[in-house]
Structure 1
Amino acid sequence: MFADYDKIIERLSLKQLWDFPGGVHPAQEKELSNQSNIEALALPELFYVPVKQHIGIHGDLLVNEGDKVLKGQALTSREQAMSVPVHAPSSGTVKSIKEHVSAHPSGIPELTVCIEADGKDTWCDLKPIVDYTKASKTDVIQAICDAGISGMGGAGFPTHIKSSNVKPIEFLIINGIECEPYITSDDRLMREHAWQIRQGIDILVHILSPKQVIVAVEDNKPEAFETLSIACQQKENYHLISVPTKYPAGGEKQLIQVLTSREVPAHGLPVDVGCIMYNVGTCYAIADAIVEGKPLIERVVTLTGQGLSNAKNVWARLGTPVSHLIDSAAYDASKQKEARFIMGGPMMGFAITSLQTPVVKITNCILVPSDNELPHIDDERACIRCSACADACPASLLPQQLFWYSKAKELDKAEEYNLFDCIECGACAYVCPSEIPLVHYYRQTKADIRNQKEEKAKSDRAKIRFEARKARLQREKEEREEKHRLAAEARKASMKSDGGAAKDKIAAALARAKAKKEALAKKASGTEATEPTNEQVEKTDSPAQAESAGAIADKAEDQKKAAAAEKKKKVAATIAKAKAKKAAQAKEADTPSESAKSVEQAEPTEKSTATEQASASSSEDAKKKAAAAEKKKKVAAAVARAKAKKKAEAAKKENKES
């Protein structure tokens, strides 16, 4: 694939390597923890197993609170492509499934399965592949996925995804550099388990079929280099290469450049230059999964720093709280005025927010420094523009400009200066005379940019949905209008084609509606007019029937007029009765008998008849009123007599006085 392949093989055979720009040489401090074998720890009472410990998405939970679980039992599924299952680190009971502090610089709580260990440490059924060389590559890759293996060098990328590569591979690179100070977990693993690492390499060769295998070990690990050389000596295409000590030679892009002189593109992957890389810890886990059938439930963790009296390497179960680890290494609180615990090394590690933070798949070190061992973030001073950071950057970036843009929250500018090409190695912060924690600024800015892009993506998706809805509503409106237009045109065409029959039908329908309306009006007015029956209405479909309907309507109109005239006549008669009654009452109050006679004599005509009818119909009322008038007359006479009497008494009194 590449023209320089033969040249690379020739230089590797001569132990001649290339170099990468920048880099630093910090104090190693590895002798604190690499002098003794890896120890096995006693089980903690509680395990806190985060459901997501890798790059990608977590699977669905397979357990519930109160369930009994066995060691190695899957706690989550692996149905989605970028998901990797997690497993129970020991047998016990699922005490809770809730948010718990995460192994992240922010310490933001994440979904965690809390398991109370029963102390029995009983394994579930294991399913190893007896002879992987006879198994298909797909089955082997699936077994790697089922074991929950992700990159253990720090990135945490799902191993089964990387192993599914379809591009041709020239160089399979096994990374045993472990260049960061203090950390010795890979060193001790290579010394004590070189053969199992070799088995993992063989499995990867079976899957990927590379042309050459390069096992790279930094030259400050002679024992590890020797043991791996012995383990791989029978393989002609396995090259053991000792790489000069320089930080960060263990970076993926930097190590590829040192071994092959090829540079991975800014937004590319190692496979784009014919290379693929795995950590020695990942190789060990692959061998464990395929040969023994064991899922990834533990890893080697370095416990180091002057704050620990017994620095060492231990086999730590995933989910073990940090407090359990530092207790096993004899934490000396007198070495720290303010407690500080770092997950990872001094260059790329981060301070944890709680001692209940669990060990995860990418945890390779717990560093407990004394007060004067490492600089504090609070020691930050103003930048003096010395450009030492730019000289040390292995990615050839401009850390000073990135720092200014990150601090000013100018996200677009920071991204324009290739912030995402930063590998967060910490070389710039290490050489900074002002002790500015540059990597912390870069990490925060990267997170802000990702959040901004996520919000923009959500906004864009919402806009697309809105525009799609708007277009759909407009389309439906146009379809309705087109449907109505076509229907109207069809009606017009039908009217023209049937020679006026449609107009006759419309006229007949209007006539039926009018007749029915008039009939309802007559019924409401109390007339006896006959309402057209349904049969009559329904039979008016032809022009002749339309004429019949018109005749019915005319007849109904005549009946309505006659009813109105009759009603008017009755009203006039009622008014006449009322007038006659009023006149009779007025005359009866003076002379009842005379009044009656005068009425009979003066009104011998129609009025007399009306008066008689009124008197007959309301005789009782007349009697009552007559009685009232008589009573009123008597009262007036009594009043007159009283006045006369009073006047007579006054006159009599006046005569006496005279």
Structure 2
Amino acid sequence: MLKTFPKGGIHPAENKITSFKAIKRMQVPKVVYVPIAQHIGIPSEIVVDRKDKVEIGQVIAKSSGFVSSNIHSPVAGTVTKLDMMVDSSGYKKQCIVIRTDQKNESNFDIQDFPLKKEITMDQKDILQHITDSGIVGLGGATFPSHVKLDLKNDNHVDCLIINGVECEPYLTADHRLMLEKGEEIIVGIQILMQALHIKSAIIGIENNKKDAIKVLKNAAASDDRIKVAALRVKYPQGSEKQLIKSILKREVPKGGLPMDVGVIVHNVGTIFAIYQAIQYNQPLIERVVTVTGKKVEDASNFWVKIGTPIKDLVQEVGGLPDGTRKIVNGGPMMGKAIKNTDVPVTKGTSGILIIAQEEASRQESKNCIRCSNCVFVCPMGLEPHLLMNLSEKGLYERASAEDIMTCIECGSCSYVCPSHRPLLDYIRFGKNIVKKLQTVKN
């Protein structure tokens, strides 16, 4: 029987249009716009100035705290501006603008790298190299990877879980990476197991990716410490807490971390980035991005330099189709609409979803009919209808007491609401206010 988490969850249409599309390499853009806040935590500190020449992989913004991350130049070129520009959050953020030099082509082109299995670094060097390389969680959370791997003496971690679920509809970046770089992912897992002295690793993949399950089982066949777990197709299976529950039946405590139950979770994209950093000294300067939509002419997966304007990706798939209503950074469930296509690709950009008018238009919100559908599907056991009402009425202390901060913002509640109420919108708003209030109190 396929494993899954027991509480809540939904089955949205998969729409994996690009699952059979091999990853293409985007041309190096003429200009890149590199934000200095591409991770959870403190923004990086800029260490270059206007008119400076930079090389591919050079540090251009240094980590400015423990929960922070280095930023590297994805291209060789000249810094033209240190400017404020709107990023995918919709807010203006500090950004380093680099004009690309003609000499650029890319000593970091991964297509030229043969598989390298031998691991020559020791534990200390591996962890330092991950820190220096600016690697963050590529599943969307962008949590600095070196922080996750900073094990304290009182934390006993016995299992590494690799997240290959990719349960968001439309997105296929992880799926394609597993198919095309399966052996490298296995070596990346072995690197982390060596660094953390962990003897067990499990790769979780939903059963709609049977080809990826086969590829990774074959790649891991010679290492009996690494297993592949086929999971039932169920959203949000890729959430850390749900994935741990599905695979190990361990319950991460409220307000706790996977480490509290002896687990570290990393996305397959993060694992591949770690492989590249350790085996080939490549910092995180590019990632796989799915560019898709039902009416997109040539929806595909791409290797994309960090800082590439989204308009370049849109042009690559044939431009915006007639009747486009919305462009989403990420998937339809947890992604966020962007204001324009000048927004750059960041470390957390897993996909660009182009949605037509008929799909994007919201139906009129009506009164709650107390059907409890939102309660039944919430994977965290919350009452979304109540949390929306409390946020709408400004009752933030009560919302905090009702565990609003436990919400993982999966959007399952909004998806099933027959009254089309904007549950997630209000809960996100309430969470932001509660977080600010908690910060003031502390």
Pairwise same-fold verdict (TM > 0.5) = yes
Give a deviation string over 1:337-384, Cα, whole Å, max 9, x none: xx31111111001111121111111110100011122443x6333322
Contact 1:70 1:92 in 2 (8 A): yes
Q: Which residue of 1 aligns with 2:21?
A: 36
Following the alignment from structure 2 to structure 1, what is the Cα–Cα distance between the partners of residues 132 and 117?
17
Give a deviation string over 1:302-322, Cα, whole Å, max 9, x none: 111124211111111111111
Q: Which residue of 1 aligns with 2:189?
A: 201
Q: Which residue of 2 aligns with 1:316?
A: 304
Q: Which residue of 2 aligns with 1:537?
A: none
Aligned to 2:212, which of 221, 224, 240? 224
Give 1:284's aligned amino acid: F
Give a deviation string over 1:199-247, Cα, whole Å, max 9, x none: 1101110111223111111000011111111110001121111001011
Asked if 1:334 corresponds to 2:322, the answer is yes
Contact 1:298 1:317 in 2 (8 A): yes
Q: Which residue of 1 aligns with 2:94?
A: 111
Following the alignment from structure 2 to structure 1, what is the Cα–Cα distance between the partners of residues 120 and 282?
20
Asked if 1:431 corresponds to 2:416, the answer is yes
Asked if 1:343 corresponds to 2:356, the answer is no
Q: Which residue of 1 aligns with 2:364?
A: 379
1:123: how far off? 5.9
Aligned to 1:136, which of 114, 119, 122? 122
Following the alignment from structure 1 to structure 2, what is the Cα–Cα distance between the partners of residues 205 and 406?
43
Structure 1 segment 104-503 matched on structure 2, within 5 A:
104=89, 107-121=90-104, 133-166=119-152, 167-336=155-324, 339-376=325-362, 379-457=364-442
Q: Secondary structure at the match of 1:391?
A: helix
Tell which has more relative contact order, 1 or 2 (C-alpha 8 A, sep 6+): 2
Q: Secondary structure at the match of 2:135?
A: coil
Following the alignment from structure 2 to structure 1, what is the Cα–Cα distance between the partners of residues 373 and 408?
17
**Any gaps of 5 or more consecutive residues in structure 1?**
1-14, 458-658
* Number of residue pairs the alignment of both structures matches: 435
Give a deviation string over 1:419-442, Cα, whole Å, max 9, x none: 111111111111011222322211
Q: Secondary structure at the match of 1:315?
A: strand
In terms of mean alpha carbon deviation, does 137-146 or 378-387 score higher? 378-387
1:125: how far off? 10
Aligned to 2:58, which of 32, 57, 73? 73
Higher Rg? 1
Following the alignment from structure 1 to structure 2, what is the Cα–Cα distance between the partners of residues 386 and 313?
40
Following the alignment from structure 1 to structure 2, what is the Cα–Cα distance between the partners of residues 238 and 78?
33
Contact 1:71 1:122 in 2 (8 A): no
Structure 1 segment 468-547 matched on structure 2, within 5 A:
none
Give 1:190's aligned amino acid: M
Residues 188 and 261 of structure 1: is their aligned pair in 2 closer, same or farther, counting only changes over 3 Å? same
Contact 1:201 1:283 in 2 (8 A): yes
Residues 72 and 391 of structure 1: is their aligned pair in 2 closer, same or farther, counting only changes over 3 Å? same
Contact 2:88 2:343 in 1 (8 A): yes
Following the alignment from structure 2 to structure 1, what is the Cα–Cα distance between the partners of residues 288 and 2?
32
**Any gaps of 5 or more consecutive residues in structure 2?**
none
Give 1:24's aligned amino acid: I
Following the alignment from structure 1 to structure 2, what is the Cα–Cα distance between the partners of residues 75 and 416?
42
Residues 304 and 134 of structure 1: is their aligned pair in 2 closer, same or farther, counting only changes over 3 Å? closer
Residues 121 and 397 of structure 1: is their aligned pair in 2 closer, same or farther, counting only changes over 3 Å? same
CA RMSD in angstroms, aligned pairs only: 2.0
Following the alignment from structure 1 to structure 2, what is the Cα–Cα distance between the partners of residues 35 and 123?
26
Following the alignment from structure 1 to structure 2, what is the Cα–Cα distance between the partners of residues 367 and 70?
32
Give 2:192's aligned amino acid: L
In terms of mean alpha carbon deviation, does 41-50 or 392-401 score higher? 41-50
Give a deviation string over 1:169-220, Cα, whole Å, max 9, x none: 2211111010111110000000001011111101110111223111111000
Contact 1:424 1:439 in 2 (8 A): yes
Following the alignment from structure 1 to structure 2, what is the Cα–Cα distance between the partners of residues 144 and 90?
20
Q: Which residue of 2 aligns with 1:21?
A: 7
Residues 222 and 108 of structure 1: is their aligned pair in 2 closer, same or farther, counting only changes over 3 Å? same
Give 1:208's aligned amino acid: L
Following the alignment from structure 1 to structure 2, what is the Cα–Cα distance between the partners of residues 47 and 437?
35
Give a deviation string over 1:245-264, Cα, whole Å, max 9, x none: 01111110011111111110
Residues 342 and 43 of structure 1: is their aligned pair in 2 closer, same or farther, counting only changes over 3 Å? same
Residues 393 and 272 of structure 1: is their aligned pair in 2 closer, same or farther, counting only changes over 3 Å? same
TM-score, normalised with respect to structure 2: 0.94
Contact 2:3 2:230 in 1 (8 A): no
Contact 1:71 1:91 in 2 (8 A): yes
Following the alignment from structure 1 to structure 2, what is the Cα–Cα distance between the partners of residues 38 and 379?
39
Following the alignment from structure 2 to structure 1, what is the Cα–Cα distance between the partners of residues 9 and 105?
47
Q: Secondary structure at the match of 1:236?
A: coil
1:333: how far off? 3.6
Following the alignment from structure 2 to structure 1, what is the Cα–Cα distance between the partners of residues 427 and 235?
19
1:271: how far off? 1.2
Following the alignment from structure 2 to structure 1, what is the Cα–Cα distance between the partners of residues 179 and 344?
27
Give structure 1 regions of 4+ aligned residues with deviation exceeding 4 angstroms: 122-126, 130-134
Residues 282 and 401 of structure 1: is their aligned pair in 2 closer, same or farther, counting only changes over 3 Å? same
Following the alignment from structure 2 to structure 1, what is the Cα–Cα distance between the partners of residues 122 and 337?
44
Give 2:49's aligned amino acid: N
Following the alignment from structure 1 to structure 2, what is the Cα–Cα distance between the partners of residues 131 and 211?
18
Following the alignment from structure 1 to structure 2, what is the Cα–Cα distance between the partners of residues 424 and 308?
27
Contact 2:245 2:251 in 1 (8 A): yes
Contact 1:307 1:335 in 2 (8 A): no
Greater helix percent: which structure? 1
Following the alignment from structure 1 to structure 2, what is the Cα–Cα distance between the partners of residues 396 and 320?
39
Q: Secondary structure at the match of 1:291?
A: helix
Contact 1:169 1:211 in 2 (8 A): no
Following the alignment from structure 2 to structure 1, what is the Cα–Cα distance between the partners of residues 199 and 361?
45
